[in-house]
Each structure stands twice: as C-alpha cells, then as structure tokens.
Amino acid sequence: MKPVQLRSLFAASALFVACSAAFAADKPQVVILATGGTIAGAGTSVANSATYQAAKVPVDKLIAGVPELKNLADVRGDQVFQIASESFTNEHLITLGKRVAALARQPDVDGIVITHGTDTLEETAFFLNLVLKTDKPVVIVGSMRPGTAMSADGMLNLYNAVAVASSKDSAGKGVLVTMNDEIHTGRDVAKTVNIKTEAFKSPWGPLGMIVEGKTYWFRAPAKRHTSGTEFDIDKLDKLAPVDIAYGYGNATPTAYRAFAQGGAKAIIHAGTGNGSVSGAVVPALQELRGKGVQIIRSSRVVGGGFVLRNAEQPDDKYDWVVAHDLNPQKARILASVALTRTTEAKELQRMFMEY
C-alpha cells in the first residue's frame, strides 16, 4: 500500500474513532441500582411464574440479559441490596435514598433506574419522591415474573425503565415507576394484584406509556415532589416510627394500644369507606391523641380511597389528620418523613394535602 493510501486510511480510522467517541459521549449516562426482588428472581422451571426465589440474579447479569440497552444509553450497574422487598426497612430506604441523591449530583449521570421487588415498590417510590431534591429522572422498576419464567416481563420492563430514564422529557416529573409499558408517578401507583403483569395501577391513571423505547406522555403530577419538596434525604438519618392498624367489622382498640406502647409516634387507621372508625375504637384513639400519638385516618378501599376531613369523624375536634387520597402504606411513608420536621397535627395535615 502506498504512503498516501496509508495516510488516508489512518485519517479515516481516526475520524471513525473520534465520531464513535462523540456518539458515545452524546448517549445518556444511566446508572442501574439493584436491590433484588422478582426481577432478580429465578424459578426451578419455565412454568414457575408464581413460585420462585427472589433476589438471586446480580445486576451485571440483569444488564447483560438485555443487550439492547446499549441502544438507549451507556448503562452501568451497582448492587445496593439483594433482598426481597417485603424485607425493606426504614434503614434500607434511607441508605438507598442517600445513594440516589449522591448519584443525582454527579454531572456524568443523566438518569437513575432502581430495580426493586414489587411488594413494597410503591412505598420506596413515594419515599424517594418526597426526599430527593433533583430534576433528573429517577425510575423504579420491577417484574411480576422471574426471568426464568415463560413470558417473563422483567427484560422489557427494564428496557422501558432505561428508556424513560434516558429521555429528557422525563425530567422534572418526580420519581417514576414503569411497569407493563406504562409510566406512573411514584406518588399514586399501587400494586393491585399479585399474579398478573398489569399489577400496578394509579387511581388517577398513568402519566404515559412506552412503545418500542419511546415515551409518550399524557399528564403530569400535580402534587409537590423532588425538586419542589421541603424534605431532604441528606438531612435524614432516621424516620419516625409509624404503624398501621386495620379497620374491620368487630374491630377493637387492641392493635392501636399495642402500637402506641411499642413507641409509634403516629398510627395510620386503615379505615373502611371514608376512613370510618368503629364506635368501639374512637375513645381509644382520642385517648392516644391526648398522649401525643398522631391519629391519621386513611382508607383501606382498593384503587381510590379518598378520605374527606370532618366526614365520618370530627377531625377538627379530635385533632386528627386525614390522609387525603394516600393509601395506608403511603400514608405511613409520608408520616414517617413529616414527623421528623413537625409534631403539629395542622402542619401534618398541610403536608398530606400538598404531597
């Protein structure tokens, strides 16, 4: 080969390398934080979609199992926990929140995906929505079937989560949840069934959807979140102890008194209908409020319980709080965070209406 041809070849190679580097630099940088759950689970056969062991597959294998991710972003992974989500504690929430906040501050991170078990995914999503001060996309994803099952949903869910985290349109919308091709706000979404891939629903509908790696948006969150929050994960080292007591026919005060004796600073009443409280329970809740325990009325109604203040019970008179449209488990999360800043029922009520 002649010297001129060699120089031309070298120049073309250099240009290719430079263009490739520029293309790579233009790709969004997405970090996947893995915590375990069904998306990292494995069954003994392809027929096992409901019986399996969660939290078995490490994050590097999850990423390797979806090679198409490289078409969306430069992806790297970090194994934060490897647990089933029913074992998540307040300490896990704080550890994860601080890790996400630190990543969000890095200029080389454009979006963050968190793989999570579905049992408490909605609680973690709401917690992060309350305490992260960032506009960068934070997306939580799980699966209803382990990767070893026929029609496993984890691969596509993870692909969609990275697509959402990579999209500039996702910025400023708070913590998001992607499941079954839908995009939900972490505030609203809840697990509504335990054996179907369309398990996650929001009472007011999804924010949008993902089709073949592209996001389509239909609405935006109305409540305060992330960059607009008054809470800050960097100033949180401990959450207030809050418990949930279930309302039902023939209810007694036993659980409420036990939770208070155990140190609960607030008790979420998961009431029937509009957060109704049995006549046999009301005196005990009045007594506990007089001792400083916050009483927060929520509704156990699936898919859209909405508790109106001073309806069913005279909340103003009793100095109780209503959870608005938050289900009992999300009410627990907000109360646990809010009680680190105030012990006034009126302030708590403001927070429940704004968040």
**CATH code where residue 183 lies:** 3.40.50.1170
Domain stop point among 228, 256, 287: 228
275 Cβ contact list (under 8 Å, min separation 6): 269, 297, 298, 299, 305, 307, 312, 313, 322, 323
In a domain, 235, yes or no: no
Same domain membership, residue 126 and residue 93: yes
206 and 122 in one domain?
yes
Binding residues for substrate: 85, 118-119
pTM of the model: 0.91
Domain span holding position 285:
241-354
| End residue of a domain, out of 164, 194, 228 | 228
In a domain, 38, yes or no: yes
Q: Quote the number of domains for the chain.
A: 2
Same domain? For 107 and 166 the reply is yes
Shared domain for 180 and 305, answered yes or no, is no
Query: How far is the CA of 145 from the CAs of 11, 46, 88, 194, 248, in angstroms?
Result: 50, 10, 20, 10, 32
> Over its length of 355 residues, how does the chain's per-residue pLDDT go in tens digits?
555 454 554 444 444 444 444 445 589 999 999 999 999 888 788 778 677 788 789 999 999 999 999 999 999 999 999 999 999 999 999 999 999 999 999 999 999 999 999 999 999 999 999 999 999 999 999 999 988 888 899 999 999 999 999 999 999 999 999 999 999 999 999 999 999 999 999 999 999 999 999 999 999 999 999 999 999 999 999 999 999 999 999 999 999 999 999 999 999 999 999 999 999 999 999 999 999 999 999 999 988 788 999 999 999 999 999 999 999 999 999 999 999 999 999 999 999 999 9
| Rounded Cα gap, residues 270 and 179, in angstroms | 26
Q: Strand, coil or helix: what is 104?
A: helix
Q: Which of 201, 228, 255 is the last residue of a domain?
A: 228
Domain for residue 204, yes or no? yes
Residues 49 and 170 grouped into a single domain = yes
Domain contains 20: no
CA distances for 59 relative to 88, 123, 145, angstroms? 18, 22, 17
Query: Which CATH number covers residue 277?
Result: 3.40.50.40
In this structure, is residue 9 part of a structural domain?
no
Q: Which active-site residues does the annotation give?
A: 38, 118
**Does one domain contain both 217 and 255?**
no
User: Do 185 and 143 lie in a common domain?
Assistant: yes
Q: Is residue 263 part of a domain?
A: yes
Residue 171 CA to residue 186 CA, distance in Å, equals 14
Do 87 and 179 sit in the same domain of this protein? yes
- Domain shared by 212 and 275, yes or no: no
Say yes or no: 98 and 221 in one domain: yes
Considering the domain architecture, whether residues 306 and 334 belong to the same structural domain is answered as yes
